[in-house]
Structure 1
Amino acid sequence: MNNAVVRLQNLTRSFEQGGVRIDVLRGANLAIQPGEIVALLGPSGSGKSTMLQAIGLLEGGFGGLIEIAGINASQLGKDQRAAVRRDHIGFVYQFHHLLPDFSAMENVVLPQLVAHRSQDEAQVRARELLDALGLGARLDHRPSQLSGGEQQRVAVARALANKPQMVLADEPTGNLDEATADRVLGQFLELVRGEGSSALVATHNERLARAMDRVVRLHDGLLEETGLR
């Protein structure tokens, strides 16, 4: 467990709503090893997105240990958390969140420039990823000129642009029809494995979860291993 890319220990998160305390996470534990792709199963509202926000260091208010690439991120300041996200984590969301005024290539180049990679290096990396995802002929197209599946593949390339150790995907194919979802997920898994990254993929789709290395289920604020394959 010591070389885990992500380690959660006794993770808790509560909210106040209408004067009532809601315990979304009640002591969840998880370790994800290098190169491991894990499906996070659970119905809408079960806390999957909250858990991804914890691992992605996107907000505070969590109790317990959050360790990313050996770094105890639980008590880091805002700037330190941003540095860990930049250097170690990639994100794919249900909606692509691409910058509408930028081309596919530019959307994948930009996060690399933020990470201080040179323009030439960033373009080579972007082209490599987009080619691998079958988008070599669409490099100069803006998001509005791309299909839903193409947009999401650009989002996958963007998430992997800085070679993150950990990729967090929140219902990454939830906005696509079944055939397109299968194709995008297959390309996503192939690329993540080829890059040697780990991934945690939140989904409510048990059929898609079977394509991953391991499946955990979020139930009543706790994580349970499942034999689903």
Structure 2
Amino acid sequence: MNDPAQIDPVVKLTLLTRSFEQGGVKIDVLRGVNLTVAPGEIVALLGPSGSGKSTLLQAVGLLEGGFGGKIEIAGTEASALNGDDRTVLRRDRIGFVYQFHHLLPDFNAIENVMLPQLVAGKDREDAAVRATALLEALGLGQRLDHRPSQLSGGEQQRVAVARALANRPALVLADEPTGNLDEATADKVLGQFLELVRGTGSAALVATHNERLAKSMDRVVRLHEGVLQ
């Protein structure tokens, strides 16, 4: 049996920095962030609007450059990869859920969840089976052939959750995933999201400013003045 201490963390950030220039003034958004997320761990990233939560998730998600420090995803140092290899790592190991669902409007629910699997080279029939299972687990078994415009906001966001988990990622990044929903719907969607993430064994880093929702996760870290507390 493997020693848990020898298992690579899903995320390891070392002295992560990010600065922007605005009106000729340098703004340090991230000032040396250190963070480790273990396999299967769900971590809430708390902080007010403008604190840099989205910037931190963009770094972990390998969505843009310009960061200083070291980013390791599932044992791979991202800074050592070329653009194509970073794309493959992001595609195969990371799932994303945003505040706004970003579903493709011309595709129905099952097709939206199948798409990332097809891009990754999965057989179409297998992709449909996986998509159906995820959507049914989220209570959308009767909505598989509905397009986003035919779904409620909560249903759209649940499809986005299923899409994020379609390729069985090691890590799910969620940026205010229920911020666009009313409180009752947000609670329901978040509960289903956490249950499904735990069921798949993925780790998750969830950015939110909602203290109440953060308490339902395994650990809470706070971004304050560019560093984690």
TM bucket (normalised to shorter chain) is over 0.9
User: What residue number does 1:32 align with?
Assistant: 37
Match of 2:148 among 138, 143, 153: 143
Distance in 1 between residues matched to 2:58 and 2:98, nearest whole Å: 11
Deviations 1:99-121 (A, max 9, x none): 00000000000110000000000
1:171 has 2:171 as partner? no
Distance in 1 between residues matched to 2:79 and 2:23, nearest whole Å: 28
User: What residue number does 1:208 align with?
Assistant: 213
1:62 has 2:38 as partner? no
User: What residue number does 2:160 align with?
Assistant: 155
Distance in 2 between residues matched to 1:46 and 1:80, nearest whole Å: 30
Secondary structure of 2:79 counterpart = coil
Secondary structure of 1:74 counterpart = helix
Identity fraction in percent: 78
Paired residue type of 2:56: M
Give the unaligned 5+ runs of structure 2: none
Distance in 2 between residues matched to 1:29 and 1:212, nearest whole Å: 19
Paired residue type of 2:214: A
Secondary structure of 1:45 counterpart = coil
Paired residue type of 1:168: L
Give me the TM-score of the superposition, normalised by structure 2: 0.97
Distance in 1 between residues matched to 2:112 and 2:125, nearest whole Å: 15
Q: How big is the shift at 1:8? A: 0.1
Match of 1:52 among 30, 33, 57: 57
Secondary structure of 2:129 counterpart = helix
User: What residue number does 1:227 align with?
Assistant: none
Deviations 1:45-85 (A, max 9, x none): 00000000000000000000100000000232211110000
Following superposition of structure 1 onto structure 2, how do residues 76-225 of structure 1 map, counting pairs within 5 Å?
76-224=81-229
Give the unaligned 5+ runs of structure 1: 225-229
Secondary structure of 1:149 counterpart = helix
CA RMSD of aligned residues (A): 0.7
Give me the TM-score of the superposition, normalised by structure 1: 0.97
User: What residue number does 2:78 align with?
Assistant: 73
